[in-house]
Amino acid sequence: MQQTPIEQSEPTDVSAPPRSVCIIEDDEAIADVLAIRLARQGFTTFTAHNGHQGVELACSQHPNLVLLDLGLPDISGFNVCQELVENPATNDIPIIILSGMQRPDIIRRSRSAGCRYYVRKPYDPNALLVLIDQAISETEGL
């Protein structure tokens, strides 16, 4: 009886810790789509649907990156961003703001609050994944 060789995939690097993303987004459908897409890329995700939960989650889980919506039901995403940047426990976490706001000063305000990148909704999901990888790599290189 002839045996068929077992096909093996390339071994994964077990020494590399899993990358994680905290999604702070009040729209559950958008948060779910982001979480599914990121999980397919090997990320662990944590989701909060308001700003206070998001800050608590980022502090307790210390993710590799935060994806933050500006239009949250309880506090402004600008305030969440600034709070995370000013907190010694979370100030090393890069923040990408995802927002549909169209005001001319929005990018400047986002940057002054401390975000790494601003992405306007609707966004290209592949471009967002590239930015996520880039922001995490930049932070790890510090």
Q: DSSP string of 119-138?
A: EESS--HHHHHHHHHHHHHH
Is residue 46 within 8 Å of 61, Cβ to Cβ? yes
Return the beta strands (E) in 49-126 as ranges: 65-69, 95-99, 117-120
Name residues whose C-beta falls within 8 Å of residue 99's C-beta, 6 or more positions apart in sequence. Answer: 69, 70, 71, 77, 106, 110, 118, 119, 120, 121
Beta partners for 96?
67, 117
pLDDT digits (tens, 9 = 90+) for 84-141: 999 999 999 999 999 998 888 999 999 999 999 999 999 999 999 999 999 999 988 7
What the chain holds in terms of domains, given with CATH numbers, is 20-140 (3.40.50.2300)
pLDDT tens track for 58-80: 999 999 999 999 999 999 999 99
* Nearest CA among 32, 96, 46, 91 for reference residue 68: 96
Please identify which residue in the block is written with the tokens 């996520």: 132
6/133: higher pLDDT = 133
